[in-house]
Amino acid sequence: MDIDKLFKVPKLPAGSNKRRMPDNPTPEMLKRMRLDSESSPETEVTSTNGSSSRDKGKNRATVEDEDEDGGDEMMDFAPGGDADYFAEEDDEGRFFGGGLTKEQKDILNIFDKDGGEGVREDLEEMTITGVRRLLTRFERAANKNQDQRSKYPDDPTRFIDSEADLDLALKALLPLAQSPVLAYPEIVKSGAVERLVGLLSHENMDIVIDVVEVINEFTDEDEDDVEAEEEEEGNREEALKQLIEAFIGNSILELLVDNLSRFNEEEESDRQGIFHVLGIFENILGFNADLSTELVSKTKILDWLLKRIESPRHDENRGYAAEILSILLQNKRPNRLELGKRDGVETILKVLSRYRKKDPVNADETEFMENVFDVLCSALAEPEVKKQFLDSEGVDLMILMMKDKMEARSRAIKVLDYAMSGPAGTAACETFVDALGLKSLFSTFMGKSKKQKANAAHAASEDTAHTLGIVSSLLSNLASDSSARIRLLAKFVENSYEKPEKLLEIRDTARTRLKATEKEIEDEKKRMEADGEEVEGMEDLWYLQRLDGGLFTLQTVDYILAWITMEDDGIREHIKKLLDRKSQSFKDIVKTLQIMLDNVDDDSTDAPADAPSQREILQNLIAFLDAC
């Protein structure tokens, strides 16, 4: 039996155990050979045929014209990018790679030249001495590069070495993020913040990319970091606060936004640079959300983000841009109004219209789509944006999405809920009825959608909540005796009052949830009283817990029931009969409305002067039901 044939073991080349190089080696391979030969002493190498040659460097590759089979194959020069794969070998030619890439080896070599083993020890132990040495090395590299660039601006060969040193010095700063309490005060004190921010204007984009990576790492507060658990949390937050304030004081936000236009996303390194810039924005806004107003007012970040999400091709940065846009608009009226001034509503509707006939291709694009919908919902909290949404035919687009029953359908219902809420949503309510939105709305409300999803239960629950919100807004905003209101009330009469019956089913489910929530609150109250804790200040928190635990749904349903009971005698008699079967009455609905009245927000700055306030509406509904 021929073992070689059985296992197809290739025969060893005769006469040499060295790796072969092709006839046309790449420049990178030749450069690696040159660097290796310059860094090693000359040694005598004897070939297998007895001849001698001067080998400059014990890891020089041997070039042969043909292998045993006459082919020109090229093997991997250094698997894994190991810089010493061929240098570390024994007398028999066996190779032992060091496990480090050339870049990692170069960084350690710089440490050796500038400080010896002590620097590596300081880096590993992260002592104050090691931190200062790294910062000093960075300062020298930055100053040297700036000096040589100013002296020889037209001769890159004169400053290319200093640029490489600066690149390595920047990368060597990354480990400092692991010990913020120790390192960050030194970074601020040494003036490294000013130097880092200044390098954002560097002519070489590779240096800029290094800088944004370092700043992103510095400002990223990793709660799961092991060292963070060992440090006092207050000291860590204080160190991070000191560093971020130093960056803000040096106009980092403006410089970062200015750099976004310098990146070329056709290049992988530039794409990573943009990702790190967006990461810095997220880190800073996560630390201090109030800075979002400053970011929008002092820079052109909104223009860039809107243009970026408008790209037809989806990638990681497009998704990140939508996420940052969503963060900027959270609870910030000035930012929402600025979005409207820059035609942001029109841009967002164009992006969302692509998902009317097709679903996102993967989970990342689904998250992007949801973030864009969230941006629109946040903006619609402002009356001015609601008008722009209506003028841009946003209501019509959302109704079409409801009819098409694609993945964007549930989000479209959510957007309509936001657009039609409050007195400022009156025009949107009228447009909704005129655009024949009632049919699709009540189809969803009755659960007649045929398309099933993996998370169907959760989606149906959200759809129900937002559908109830839309119906509530329609009843509040449509004028009495208007054709639109009559068409709405007719929906509750058709098919033998099936929709009021559905409302009562939802009401029973909400009451069951609320009872469980009430029991949890009562148990917590007893525990706190037994422990001698103060319970008076917990009422607001417990009210929010009740809202989330079924009270909000119950309030919305009872508000709708009260309206349709007052509007139509037939509906009133049918609802009364159904309540009697469950030993309930209109008094139970009144109790719910009274809780709403006690907690209603009196602010109604967007309400027309002649329109009744929410408080007045509730008072009238309660008075009517009490008389029934």
pLDDT tens digits, one per residue of 183-238: 999 999 999 999 999 999 999 999 999 999 999 999 997 654 444 454 455 688 89
Q: Are 210 and 170 in contact (CB under 8 A)?
A: yes
How far, in Å, CA of 416 to CA of 395, rounded? 7
Q: Two tokens at 591?
A: 């109790």
The number of helices, as runs of H, and strands, as runs of E, in the chain is 31, 2
What does the DSSP 8-state code read for residue 332?
-
Q: CA-CA distances (angstroms) from residue 402 to 1, 199, 334, 416?
A: 72, 50, 31, 10
Share of residues in the chain with pLDDT > 70 (%): 75
Q: pLDDT > 90: what percent of the chain?
A: 65
Q: Is the model's pLDDT at 16 over the cut of 60?
A: no
Q: Write down the mean pLDDT value for the chain.
A: 82
Residue range 140-154: average pLDDT? 90
Residue 14 scores a pLDDT above 50? no
**Residue 457 pLDDT level (bands cut at 50, 70, 90):** low
If one compares 346 and 539, the residue with the highest pLDDT of the two is 346
Tell which residue, 236, 240, 110, has the closest CA to residue 187: 240
pLDDT for residue 533: 86
d(CA 572, CA 568): 6
* Per-residue pLDDT at 307: 96
For 496-534, how does the pLDDT look when each residue is reduced to its tens digit (9 = 90+)? Answer: 999 999 999 999 999 999 999 999 999 999 998 888 888
User: What's the average model confidence in pLDDT over 607-623?
Assistant: 84
- What values do phi and psi take at 52, rounded to 5? -110, 150
Q: Is the pLDDT of residue 115 over 60?
A: no
| Higher-scoring residue by pLDDT: 92, 240 | 240
Average pLDDT on 140-149 reads 92
Q: Which residues lie below 8 Å from residue 163, measured CB to CB, with a gap of 6+?
A: 145, 204, 207
The pLDDT value recorded for residue 232 is: 56
The DSSP string of 493-562 is HHHHHHHHHHHHHHHHHHHHHHHHHHHHHHHHHHHHHHTT---GGGHHHHHHHHIIIIIHHHHHHHHHHH
Q: On the CB side of 484, how many CA atoms lie within 13 Å of its CA?
A: 21
Res. 114: pLDDT tops 70:
no
pLDDT higher at 541 or 124: 541
* pLDDT bucket at 248, cuts 50 / 70 / 90: very high
Q: State residue 240's pLDDT score.
A: 93
Mean pLDDT of 481-506: 95
Per-residue pLDDT at 393? 96
- Rounded alpha-carbon distances, angstroms, from residue 265 to 300, 301, 317, 447: 19, 17, 9, 45
Residues 6 or more apart in contact with residue 183 via CB below 8 angstroms: 126, 131, 176, 177
| Alpha helical stretches, state H, 435-482 | 437-445, 456-477
The answer to pTM > 0.95 is: no
CA 297 from centre of chain = 21
Q: Which of 49-53, 89-93, 99-103, 555-559 has the highest mean pLDDT?
A: 555-559
Q: ∠385-370-432 over CA atoms, to 5°?
A: 45
Residue identified by tokens 């020069």 is 77
* Local structure of 475: helix, strand or coil: helix
Judge whether residue 304 has pLDDT over 70.
Answer: yes
Helix (H) or strand (E) run with residue 44 in it = strand 42-46
- Separation of alpha carbons 621 and 628, rounded Å: 11
Q: According to the model, what pLDDT value does residue 6 have?
A: 44
Q: What average pLDDT does range 583-600 have in this prediction? A: 94
Q: Is the pLDDT of residue 540 over 70?
A: yes
